[in-house]
Amino acid sequence: MVAEQRELRDDALNGLQLSTRLENIWRTPSGFFGALASVDHKVVGRRYIVTAFAFLLLGGLLAVLMRVQLAGPENTFLSADKYNQIFTMHGSTMMFLFAVPVMEAFAVYLVPLMVGTRNIAFPRLNAFSYWMFLFGGCFLWISFMLNVGPDVGWFAYVPLSSLQYTPTKRPDVWAQMITFTEVAALAVAVEIVVTVFKQRAPGMTLDRIPLFVWAMLVTSFLVMFAMPSIMVASTSLILDRLVNTRFYDSSSGGHPLLWQHLFWFFGHPEVYIIFIPGTGMVSAILATFTRRPVVGYPVVILSLIATGFLSFGLWVHHMFVTGLPQLGAGLFTASSMLIAVPSGLQIFCWLATLWDGRPVYRTPLLFVIGFIVIFVIGGLSGVMVASVPIDTQVHDTYFVVAHFHYVLIGGAVFPLIGAVYYWFPKIAGRMLSERLGFWHFWLAFVGFNVAFFPMHILGLIGMPRRVYTYTADMDWAHLNLLSSAGAAIFALSFALLLVNVIYSLRSGPLAGDNPWDASTLEWATTSPPPPQNFDRIPIVKHRDPLWFDNESLPVVAGLSVERREVLLTSLAEAEPQIREASPDPSIWPLLTAIATTVFFIGSIFTPWAVLWGTPPMAVALIGWFWPTGSKEDEE
């Protein structure tokens, strides 16, 4: 009898009827308030990507302003005060509002598609995460527009950032922006881990997970272990400034180096939180455009995991000139260099893939090749700065500025731009222009190297970081001018990307499901994907399912078509376990984010905000989790 009364499942319907039904239950409600209530990972992911790129644009404009200021000696284009705010905003924006969020944004959009499920785990938390990120970013930038932009560096070293030496609200704005973005990042990390562990399509065993998804899984664990450190640091900084605690005050038993340890215990893994997703993008793009799977799949995964572990054991190389014991510092030299081994292994695997493959030179592959050329330079200069004696000279000079831009732009932004060209057709349904892409790549490659290579030499001939000007007799003018010219070219290349995106959104050729003949599951659905992602959940029998079953994928049936349901599978073997309800759209994540924002911003002005800020949050959370009596609960 039970079988007859049960709800309608997808095995009872077919074709258009099934699609329409699923679309109706999974779609984002129409209208303005419907859009605000969306919990679709694709909608949230798209917003996340666009917002992160908006912050890239803003951070890039700041970089251009700095390069104008430094183009000549004793330039008065920017005052010291403006310059200090701008370099702090540039670093903070790029690290906290662009690099980490954009990688998570791609994961939010792609991971559920790549593992073959209908929505990310905890979709409402996902919406909440986006709102927190958006509000935190706006909070920082509006403060900057009001001349309350932080001016103590993206690292905000105490005691400079303490109340005594910076009695304005500027460091509080910085510290609380950290709290916003870290809450957002931690939420996404949890979602990704659970999605990957529990929502993979049946048959997608651990050794069939796409490399990009592996990269995001490792990144998510790094986020979960690294970010709490910076939240502890920034919160105790706010406490020092607001209620006179003495965590960092050396005259009361605190210590400024405590800040540096906490900051870099986060700050170094942060680099890998940005870089590891880049490697996942590289692996995905290389496989598709060399027309073969990446060589050494297990080697690449083990390298990612090893990188993750090692990244927590080398933060001290940021502190070699703080007077630490020599032997200890020497050991951190070795541990820092050791990370070259897993990074090197990945590079060797990619080179072997290119070696055996038949490269198809489309824009994404160009950016991956640019990545290898640039990133290896950054990695090798990283080996140099890991050496204590060399670091004592180049630390806090333009040599280090060159080094980490080679690592972060070479290692993460080049793969990211490749990924934009690669996945844009899936997200937008239209192809980006290849001709503009070709120009974009060459302008970016040449512009980047002209802008940043001279900085190595500038550092060696004595130019420190974070100086708003320099005198004419320092011999730094020519190289600075060259670097500024390169920066202009590099900035221009991003203008081309913008033009390309706007033009192609309207009139790019239609993409179709799988324009690149790629192998992973996101290409098995339409472009852009329907709200339910897949009409039926695919069964995975191979690491490259679309190359293996290129006619039609096998699927499972049995999920409800009357309410939102996802299929949960076992952790290692991805065997089907249970049907699980997936939440409906809700306005409460937005309301909770607004309440949290009021609480966070209020609490940099008065400790009482902790008191009056909490009840609205509690109300919002009660609304969010109010039991609605879903069928699942009744059963």
Partner 1 sequence: MPVRMRTALVPSATLPLAACAGRQSALDPQGLQSDQILRTFFIFLIVAAVVWIAVVIALCVGMLRQKRAADQPLALHRSFERTSGRIVFVLGLATLVIVLGLSIVSYAGQRTVFAKDENALTLKIIGHQWWWEVRYEDGSPDKNFVTANEIRIPTGRPVKVELESADVIHSFWVPSLTGKMDLITGQKNELQFTAKNAGTYRGQCAEFCGHQHAHMAFAVLALSPDEFDRWRDHENQGASSPTDPLGKQGEQLFRARGCALCHTIRGTLAGGQLGPDLTHVGSRTTVAAGTLPMSPATLAAWIADPQHIKPGNFMPRMPLQSDELIAILHYLEQLK
616: Cβ contacts below 8 Å, ≥ 6 apart? 595, 598, 599
Q: Could you tell me the smallest distance in angstroms from the CB atom of residue 330 to partner 1?
A: 5
CA distance 36 to 23: 18
> Per the structure block, which two tokens stand in for 86?
């701008």
108/104 Cα distance (integer angstroms): 6
Instruction: Report in angstroms how near the CB of residue 287 gets to partner 1 at its nearest.
Output: 8
Count CB neighbours of 296 within 10 A: 17
Inter-residue contact 10 to 561 (CB < 8 Å)? yes
Cα Rg for the chain, rounded, in angstroms? 25
Least gap, CB of 110 to partner 1 (angstroms)? 20
Assess contact for 178 and 230: CB atoms under 8 A.
Answer: yes
* Shortest distance in whole angstroms from residue 381 CB to partner 1: 7
Of 396 and 584, nearer to partner 1 (C-beta) is 396
The minimum distance between CB 338 and partner 1, in angstroms, equals 6
What is the number of other CB atoms lying within 10 angstroms of the CB of residue 473? 8
Shorter beta-carbon distance to partner 1: residue 542 or 579: 542
**Closer residue to partner 1 (CB): 250 or 606:** 250
CB nearer to partner 1: pick between 337 and 594: 337
- 243 contact partners, CB below 8 Å, separation of at least 6: 607
What CA–CA distance (Å, rounded) separates 365 from 599? 46
Minimum CB separation of residue 295 from partner 1 in Å reads 5
Bridge partners (DSSP) listed for residue 581: 565
Is 487 exposed, middle or buried, given 0-12, 13-18 or 19+ CB atoms closer than 10 A? buried
Comparing CB distances to partner 1, the nearer of 548 and 608 is 548
d(CA 567, CA 577): 7
Tell me whether residue 121 or residue 386 sits nearer to partner 1 (CB atom): 386
Find the shortest distance in angstroms from Cβ 166 to partner 1. 8
Q: Which is nearer to partner 1, 271 or 377 (CB)?
A: 377
Helix (H/G/I), strand (E/B), else coil: 581: strand
DSSP annotation of 526: -
Tokens found for residue 103: 């990688």
Give the nearest distance from C-beta 432 to partner 1 in angstroms.
22
| Minimum CB distance to partner 1 smaller for 195 or for 397 | 397
* Chain centroid offset of residue 330 CA: 32
Core vs surface per residue 494-512: b (16+ CB within 10 A) or e: bebbeebbeebeeebeebe
Indicate the DSSP class of residue 462. T
Nearer to partner 1, 277 or 357 (CB): 357
Alpha helices in 152-210 (DSSP H): 170-198
Q: How far is the CB of 556 from partner 1 (least distance, A)?
A: 23
Token pair in block for residue 147: 């001349």
In whole angstroms, the minimum distance from the beta carbon of 499 to partner 1 comes to 28
> Judged by CB, which is closer to partner 1: 122, or 248?
248
- Confirm if 163 and 108 have CB atoms less than 8 A apart: no
Q: How far is the CB of 292 from partner 1 (least distance, A)?
A: 5
Give me 228's structure tokens. Answer: 């709490």
In the complex, least distance from residue 340 CB atom to partner 1, rounded to whole angstroms: 5
And the tokens for 137?
Answer: 């970013």
What are the backbone angles phi and psi of residue 37, rounded to the nearest 5°?
Answer: -95, 0
Cβ–Cβ under 8 Å, residues 432 and 501? yes
Nearer Cβ to partner 1, position 61 or 352?
352
Give the nearer residue to partner 1 in terms of CB position, either 139 or 375: 375
